[in-house]
Amino acid sequence: MISLEKISFGYDGRTTLKELDLEVPAGSFHFLTGPSGAGKTTLLKLLHLEHRPDTGRIGLFGEDIQPADPRQRTRLRRRIGVVFQDFRLIEHMSVSDNIALPLRLQGKPMATHGDDVIELVQWVGLTERADALPRTLSAGEKQRAAIARAVITSPELIIADEPTGNIDAEMGMRILRLLVELNRLGKTVMVATHDLGLIRAAKSLVSARTLRLSEGRLMQAASDL
């Protein structure tokens, strides 16, 4: 599913990621942890093609993404659902319109996919807020809307960056259960978080591998997390 070979990446001459190697099989659940500034978000940005690595090779769905032109990158992005750390909901669109947007971008008319959106809005518990604009939502509601938008097209890979940041523990567990449920549906899930409590809580729900990023290098996290 994901294959990283000697990936390095830096900002303004400062190397953030150093020669990372990683294999993520399809259908797996991975946590990516590490201190703030360790490069978790950067690694996820490389995986959903927001950045290009300085060196090394990234394979996604069996394709080498380095030579991909914009059209190919779009095609690959459509197979990935991303929950951004800052949600990145479109402010002038309602919750349900934000959730439906990836369908529109793929040319799937609302006339035939409206029911999917309603079901998903219900699944993430936002039925009452379906017509609300993002600025009126709480952080937890935005997070759930972002998750719904990430999965509306049923992507093979779901990447979530700090999906429980800025929300209370109860809401965090609710979001974790959503991600676990998606993994049980066969989706590959990669979650970046520095919330070790979340990772511990997940152990009872799913068989997850935890990777730790430290000083730009990737290592298997201790089993007693």
Of residues 56 through 85, those in contact with another protein by CB under 8 A are: 70-71, 74, 77-78, 82, 84
Answer yes or no whether residue 105 interacts with another protein by CB under 8 A: yes
CB of 71 to another protein, least distance (A): 7
Centroid of chain to Cα 212: 17
Size of the site for another protein (CB under 8 A): 29
Of residues 168 through 207, those in contact with another protein by CB under 8 A are: none
CB of 151 to another protein, least distance (A): 11
Of residues 130 through 159, those in contact with another protein by CB under 8 A are: 149-150, 153
Answer yes or no whether residue 50 interacts with another protein by CB under 8 A: yes
> Distances from the Cα of 48 to the Cαs of 28, 76, 167, 199, in angstroms?
17, 8, 24, 22
Residue from 60, 48, 152 nearest 98 by CA: 152
CB of 89 to another protein, least distance (A): 8
CB nearer to another protein: pick between 100 and 199: 100
Which residues 6+ apart lie within 8 Å of 104 measured at CB?
110
Buried b (16+ CB within 10 A) or exposed e, 184-203: eeebbbbbbbbbeebbebbe
